[in-house]
Amino acid sequence: MYFLKSISDDVQLAQLEFGKHHKTKRLIFGSVLACMAAVFQAAGGYLPGIGYLISPLATLPILICAMFSLPIGVLSYILTIILLIIVEPSELIVFPFTTGLLGLGIGVGFSFLRKRLSIISVGAISLLIGIMILIYVFRFPILGPTLSGSISFLTTVSISSFAFFYSVLWVEIGLFFFKRLRPIAT
């Protein structure tokens, strides 16, 4: 079955190879990906309409960075947040709890887990928690103004389902780009 298949040890081997590089090269790799994530995330504010289709791509640089090195991925996540403070502060509340957290969560899954379902679940849970914090703690209308501020079972199930399928999509996209970038980065 698709979800129970084990993902190869390519990510762990690439992390070992990537860790052998000089620290400067690793930091440059992380900072370039952080800049890409900030540009993608800021597109929603600078290009209304089409920018909202571009901004979810901010997950990819954080995910790729976390797949090659989890510490550099965390630094890249933090650097992207700092860049968004400067470039597009209106996107600052969305990135740390949605696109960035999803990329980091899936990267953590690739670092420590082998089964596809468990990696997808870590990403989905991180996205679910981030969206719930935005909606119920910060009262940020990420899903539109019609959603009430009280916790609803239907809303939670809907967000959980979306987070799971969105995580499946990003695991596959991450694997696709990882295979293409591995010869360059290692």
120 part of a folded domain: yes
Residue 112 to residue 105: CA distance in whole angstroms: 11
pLDDT at 155: 84
Q: What whole-number distance in Å separates Cα of residue 102 and Cα of residue 88?
A: 20
Q: Is 112 inside any structural domain?
A: yes
Dihedral angle computed from the Cα positions of residues 10, 11, 12 and 14, in that order, rounded to the nearest 10 degrees? 80
**Model confidence over 120-169: pLDDT tens digits?**
999 999 999 999 999 888 888 777 776 666 778 888 899 999 999 999 99
What's the number of domains the chain is made of?
A: 1
How far apart are the C-alpha atoms of 64 and 185, rounded to whole Å? 10
Q: Identify the three-state secondary structure at position 114.
A: coil
- How many Å from the N-terminal Cα to the C-terminal Cα in the chain? 31
In a domain, 129, yes or no: yes
Beta carbons within 8 Å of 63's beta carbon, 6+ residues apart: 102, 103, 104, 106, 107, 170, 173, 174
Residues of the domain holding 83: 8-185
Report yes or no on 97 lying in a domain: yes
Task: Classify residue 84: in a domain, yes or no.
Answer: yes
Is the CB of residue 44 less than 8 Å from the CB of residue 91? yes
Classify residue 3: in a domain, yes or no. Answer: no
**Residue 2 within a domain:** no
18-77 pLDDT, tens digit each: 888 899 999 999 999 999 999 999 998 888 889 889 999 999 999 999 999 999 999 999
pLDDT tens digits, one per residue of 116-125: 999 999 999 9
